[in-house]
A and B are shown apart, each in its own frame.
Chain A
């Protein structure tokens, strides 16, 4: 009896590759169907509706967007997003480092204070700011008690209120992706930079910043795309006097019954967010290549 005559132990119950492939396709099908039927097709229809005129294809709805009034509306959306993203970064980037250093109870408290607002309804938070920023609200009371102002300043329905509310609501989306990267940071690299003679500032700019770039880029892209399309925040905190792309879209469908124009504005908003995402993906890659 030679070795060849011994029964070959059959490979452990792994189904044939072909069967595995069909199984995988079967597993993926329901989710893929949802994506196609409830996401891709509606988007395609939206795009079609934005260029469909009574007599064939037309760009007239987009031409309406290019008028001075609506260009102002687009700028309002961009301005809100840029201010919100910038301020959230200035607070969020340093805060992520402290969060990554925190341990034990302190870390739990800090994480909870990020997650709780994140889990709380946007409407609840925007409502809170309408209470806080009223002329007889807490913020004015504190400012007057500190002697910083003599009489209540008008804050609600101003751009200040809008940006404060937006930063408040979107700040966790800046901190969490940056924190995830900072927490994984290898501190030996910073020490190595110091050993090689880099001052802390140089080590930070040349070592820490590039290493945290993926988190920075993710945070910036997330906060920008969320705030550029924010709807509840401008509706409650500033209202009609600061029309944004989102409030314009909602109005076109819910009040004005101009679905063609609304669709064009929707495609424009989508293009802005996609551009931000694409730009951030590029920046993230070029940083990661180091």
Chain B
């Protein structure tokens, strides 16, 4: 009896959690089709006028382009150097491998805001004023822990004798890594890349201290729009970002499986 009740309670909590998590996303999507400038829900009628207005948001295109550049580049660099470090750590021939592994994930435990102000003062002290490069470097610190965490876990399950086998069969060391290890680790690369891209693309607390009046990332611009004049245009923009995220997630689910990304090996 108690057991039944407990199971029922668990399902109830899960149902509540799912609804609670989805409500804000559905709200934004619904509000984006509002025919009027207020967020009257439920809607009477639907309109696409706010989608047409996204492009007219002041400074929208430069912000989107900047965010994409920084997110893609920092993810690419983090994937390369994070994977190299993960190989060194997992193969166990590195002095202090454990310490490096801990250090690599440690920025995850750090409030973004603290990293932001630390880098702001640091770059100022060095007289480093190039906003774009400062953002890229800062986002490298944001993305590297995600890559390191996923790649260390992924490589721990990889059978390195496969690389040796490929070399016995005549592959060079680099060739063996590229043609054997990289394909075998594709799911880990995708997971790491996805987490790292999203962490950078959505980052607010680090970027806010490193941008200037002319160079602003999309999250900073969005918060500014919301504080200045919230209208359904923002809901439309948010819905488009959500739609892109859904596509990314569906693709990852097809390629990797969400339950594997959730950290269970089933």
Contact = CB atoms under 8 A, between A and B. Distances in A.
A286 interface: no
Interface string A113-154: 111110111111101111110101110010000000000000
* Central interface residue in B93, B168, B198, B234, by most chain A CB within 10 Å: B93
B10 A24 contact: no
A250 B208 contact: yes
Nearest to A125: B24
B17 interface: yes
Contacts of A2: none
Contacts of A25: 88, 94-95
Given A183-B266, A262-B117, A273-B110, A114 B21 contact: yes
Given A27-B87, A127-B230, A269-B114, A171 B164 contact: no
Contact of A91 (B17, B84, B122, B227): B17
B118 A43 contact: yes
Given A35-B141, A119-B194, A172-B21, 10 more contacts: A28-B84, A95-B10, A115-B262, A131-B27, A136-B40, A168-B23, A171-B21, A200-B3, A231-B112, A270-B114
- Chain B's interface size range is 35 or more
Given A20-B91, A38-B140, A45-B121, A137 B111 contact: no
Interface of A: 12-15, 17, 20-21, 23-25, 27-28, 30-32, 34-35, 38-39, 41-43, 45-46, 49, 91-95, 97-99, 101-102, 107-117, 119-125, 127-132, 134, 136-138, 141, 167-168, 171-172, 175-177, 179-180, 183-184, 199-201, 204, 225, 228-229, 231-232, 235-236, 246, 249-250, 253-254, 259, 262-263, 266-267, 269-270, 273-274, 277
Contact of A253 (B20, B82, B117): B117
Contacts of A229: 111-114, 205
18 contacts: A14-B164, A24-B91, A28-B88, A32-B85, A108-B253, A110-B14, A117-B21, A122-B202, A122-B204, A123-B223, A136-B40, A138-B41, A183-B259, A200-B3, A225-B109, A229-B112, A236-B223, A274-B109
Contacts of A250: 113, 208
A41 B128 CA distance: 15
A179 B262 contact: yes
Given A110-B18, A124-B238, A250-B208, A137 B140 contact: no
Contacts of B18: 109-110, 113
B138 A38 contact: yes
Interface of B: 2-3, 6-7, 9-18, 20-25, 27-28, 31, 39-41, 80-82, 84-85, 87-89, 91, 93-95, 100, 103-104, 106-107, 109-115, 117-122, 125, 137-138, 140-141, 144, 148, 164, 167-168, 173, 194, 198, 202, 204-205, 208-209, 219, 222-223, 226-227, 230, 234-235, 238, 241-242, 245-246, 248-249, 253, 258-259, 261-264, 266
B230 A123 contact: no
* Central interface residue in A116, A129, A131, by most chain B CB within 10 Å: A131
Contact of A179 (B82, B137, B264): B264
Contacts of A168: 20-21, 23-24
Contacts of A30: 80-81, 84-85
Contacts of A124: 24-25, 28, 222, 238, 241-242
A206 to B, nearest CB: 14
A69 to B, nearest CB: 20
Contact of B13 (A95, A183, A228): A95
B168 A49 contact: no
The secondary structure that dominates the B interface is helix
A98 B22 CA distance: 17
A34 B41 contact: no
A128 B28 contact: yes
Contacts of A98: 7, 10-11, 13-15
The secondary structure that dominates the A interface is helix
Contact of A266 (B2, B14, B113): B113
Given A32-B85, A249-B117, A121 B219 contact: yes
